[in-house]
Structure 1
Amino acid sequence: MLIRRLILITASLLGLWMLWVMLLPTPSSLPPSAPLSSGSWRVAEHTVSRLESFQLEARILGREDYYFDRGAKLSPTDLALGWGPMADPEVLRHISISQRNRWYFWRAEQLPIERRQIEINSANMHLIPATPEVASTLAGLKEGQQIRLSGQLVRIDGDDGYRWTSSLSREDTGDGACELIWVEQLAVLP
């Protein structure tokens, strides 16, 4: 009897959580309104400001989806991406990749390339789908795929004072080094 109650309670909580996640607004359901100026526009309770154009071809090293943090309404997915030597499967076979709390981590028993090459040829990127088509493509991406993306590095200013700003450098590491990208085009490469 107790086991049945626990199963029923667990199933009910899971069902409520799934309903709540499905009802969360996503970028594809929050289209931008008319531009405020030449470089900013509104999405829900946020002003999105263009910092500079961005494009990249890279291998997906890891993927982490977010539902509950402050940025999840705008950026539901982070991709850890690698390019140059960090897109080489032979190099990657020696490196362990993980993601959590909007961070990307790597470790290696023995470095297959110089540490600085790992740092400047890989990054965790917070992706904001600009269209339902981009959101659909993003939802289907998997580790190991090669992708091409383009869009805008942006700053987000919430009406409540919240601020989230993209890095503008590929030379930085640590807190604030991630790119925050308004993704206008996204394609999986053969």
Structure 2
Amino acid sequence: MLIRRLIIAVAGLLALWMLWVIVLPDANRLPSGVSTSTGTWRVGENNLRALQAFSLKARVLRRENYYFDRGAKLSPTDLALGWGPMADPQVLRHISISQRNRWYFWRAEHLPIERRQIEIHSANMHLIPANAEVAKTLAELKTDQQIQLSGQLVSVEGDDGYRWVSSLSREDIGEGACELIWVEQLVVLP
């Protein structure tokens, strides 16, 4: 019993430390006077460039936090999101959702809707919080919540040569199909 409490306490402290060290120091990231719709800006050792405006109302299908990969300091959380038919609980009860290594996976014994409808109405999205309020909301999100987010699809170029580029289409699948979003606004819907 004591060991279990100790493990829970250590896990809680680790989660708070990760929020404090990784997310919050860079949470107010956008330098004043920089327009994300027309420009580039720096976050840590990276240049971000706005590619196009983005907004979405969706259901959180699953979330995965990242701490140690190259993108974790910019994007600590990926959300698997569903909209349209992929936001319908009657459809989702037939689909198993998982995430790992910045990928989103789904599986169904019997497809409740056409495969293509699943592909174009759900996606794994890499979220970069633009401010402390977005970072806090993102850290508290849970599966099945309805959200509305808006911001910019971006590309990232690190000083070390690292590149990460958002997809600009909801019709693509596979490698490179995820959205990389500078999230300026994130709201949980009732």
* TM-score interval (norm. to shorter): 0.7 to 0.9
Structure 2 counterpart of 1:3: none
Pairs within 5 Å for 1:150-189: 150-189=150-189
Instruction: Provide the identity percentage.
Output: 70
Please give the root-mean-square deviation of Cα atoms over the aligned residues, in Å: 2.1
Question: For the pair shown, which has the larger CA radius of gyration, 1 or 2?
Answer: 1
Report the counterpart of residue 22 of structure 2 in structure 1. Answer: 25
Please show how residues 63-142 of structure 1 align to structure 2 within 5 Å. Answer: 63-142=63-142
Q: Give the count of matched residue pairs.
A: 178
CA displacement at 1:172 relative to structure 2 = 0.3
- TM-score scaled by length of structure 2: 0.87
Runs of at least 5 residues in structure 2 that lack an aligned partner in the other structure = none
Cα deviation, 1:148-176, whole Å, max 9, x if unaligned, reads 00000000000110000000000000010
Q: Which amino acid aligns with 1:121?
A: H
Q: Which amino acid aligns with 1:25?
A: I
**Could you tell me how far apart the structure 2 residues matched to 1:158 and 1:96 are?**
35
Q: Distance in 2 between matches of 1:171 and 1:36?
A: 28
SS in 1 for 2:126: strand
CA distance in 1, matches of 2:80, 2:126: 9
CA distance, structure 2, for counterparts of residue 32 and residue 52 of structure 1: 17
Runs (4 or more) in structure 1 with deviation over 6 Å come to none
TM-score (norm 1): 0.87
1 CA distance for matches of 2:113 and 2:20?
45
Please give the alpha-carbon distance, in whole angstroms, between the structure 2 residues aligned to 1:112 and 1:23. Answer: 41
Q: Deviations over 1:67-118 (max 9, x none)?
A: 0000000000000000000000000000000000000000000000000000
CA gap of 1:109–1:139, structure 2 versus 1, over 3 A, is same
